[in-house]
Structure 1
């Protein structure tokens, strides 16, 4: 502590010893400063605050589609717009500063001075609130420059708003046309899909309603299929258990005749049915493919009838062969009977027909 006090007293003593020298230096510096300040040109600063919505009309439309500018970039954009050469020339004419220049070099120098004297910055609280300041040696000129600058600023902003509105309208029209084309394309694809899948989507109701209806029809068809299968089994059981009938077809006088018996060439009921079904099948094949249910049903029925006709023909040939053999051997044919009596029985034929129809449905 004693050392600090001793050092402090030494400093004070040194200042006191050189007090006149320090006073002289202070007077010299003060006088030089007053002279320098007196020689400085006068400068007046005119400032103004203006509220301008710099948000583009397209900003809500481009939300999430384009990068939005921040405050600094917007200030830079406004500064470049406001301090552009056309706006500075307009500002010079509005304040009559163009009357002070006569050559292009003087004009360029004046424009450069104007550009340096104008400052623009945004408020920290509200990015749309801007402050403008203009510095000029003449007070009235600074005021006129500030007023003219506000006018130019507002006109530029309104012009930008009009351009944004026009651009927004063009943008919306382009978007409407694009979505209209997409909608037409989607409707075309939807129509083609409905036309292609009319068997699934046709009728009233939606897809799931048609699906439920198709499922119900499927269950009903499966139930009918089981019924027809049971019916086929029952008819086959009845046919297999049917006893042959003895129907004399050749009288004794005919049996004694030496001529040989030939199979009958008269068409049977099965032949008639086959002919009718073949005609119907030919007509259906003109309109439908082979996978159509009606075509498949008639094809199956035709196959059963042809099999039945083949059985009848085999039975008829066997009967004729047996009769001829017994005649050659000189044996009577009265007790042979008609081996095809069962095939010609109305009940048997009706059962066979019902069996064929049931098989075709299966």
Structure 2
């Protein structure tokens, strides 16, 4: 421990012997460092916070989905820091007074790209931070960014919608011409190859339609013929005449009831009722009882005969059924002729069907494409109207751009203090290094250790009164030098604080 203290005492003595060199080095480092600190430009920071709210009132049917809105937000944030947007910032603030050429603008844009920071925070908040050498310009930069933030939302989607509508209009016009040409080609083909054939559409469609119609006609014809046969069978069992009105007084009630039941039964069968129908079964039972009663009733002499009304009704129905059967037979013959004509066309020119199918397919593809383009145009138009009347993204400034009064950088008090500490340490270090390069022996023991020879003793320095006074003056001068360094440090701190106070 004593050895360590001796080494420390020797080092301090060596530094003290070179104290003027240490003071000079400290002043040199301090002056140079403080000058460098003074040359560092002030950096001011302006901040603002913007709230971005998505409009969720409109349904997704108009094409504005939450994913689209989030994409718009990301796009706007990236676009704000693009070269085009930063050039607008340069030309829209006082920075425009500092540029004359495109090269100057490019340099300013490059500087702004490093000085601007846009951060997405929670709750749909964006923080815009800009740093610069001028507090006024820094605030203008943040305000201009906010203006661009709003402007791009209001105009970006509208420009995109307008461009899309122009493109779709051009495509629709082109497709409309192609569709008209395809329609004309299809009409020419049908007039040339299919004009004499019945029906419409392709040969396959016409063949299918004719066969379907033929099957329906055959079914209707079978039903009509069956109904006609039933009417003929009914007429065979109904007498053409009955007792006339001249002897009506001689006709008994049993025969009158029989005639009435026969008429009702004929009407029921004419309506298409089958023999198992409840009304027909009841009438047949009544008819059997009426016939038995009529046979037991005497017929008055001299009764004249008259036409049976039931028979006349059946004759009328028979005529209608015959006309219906004749019409269906004629329709069947016509359809058979159509089928024969289409079959002959297919057999005579088998390539016509394939050619027509190709023409129809091309026409349908163009028609579907035109309809899709038209639907897309209406959807984009609706989306544009929705965005123009109710913005999909709304902005509100939560914190307006701050007007910085005090520079955020550099921290001059800290730098001035650091320079002073480095200067003092540098002076001491230089003095210590010089002491090591030019060794001196402050004690007899150190000399004995260095030479390896015994030291008999040491003689103290004899200082006269004049030398003592001179040394005191030099010590005062040295203290003044050290104190001057401290006074300079305090003065610089005072100037810095004064400037900050005036700026605030």
Q: Tell me the TM-score normalized by structure 2.
A: 0.28
Q: Tell me the TM-score normalized by structure 1.
A: 0.37
Question: Which gives a bigger RCO, structure 1 or 2 (Cα 8 Å, sep 6+)?
Answer: 2
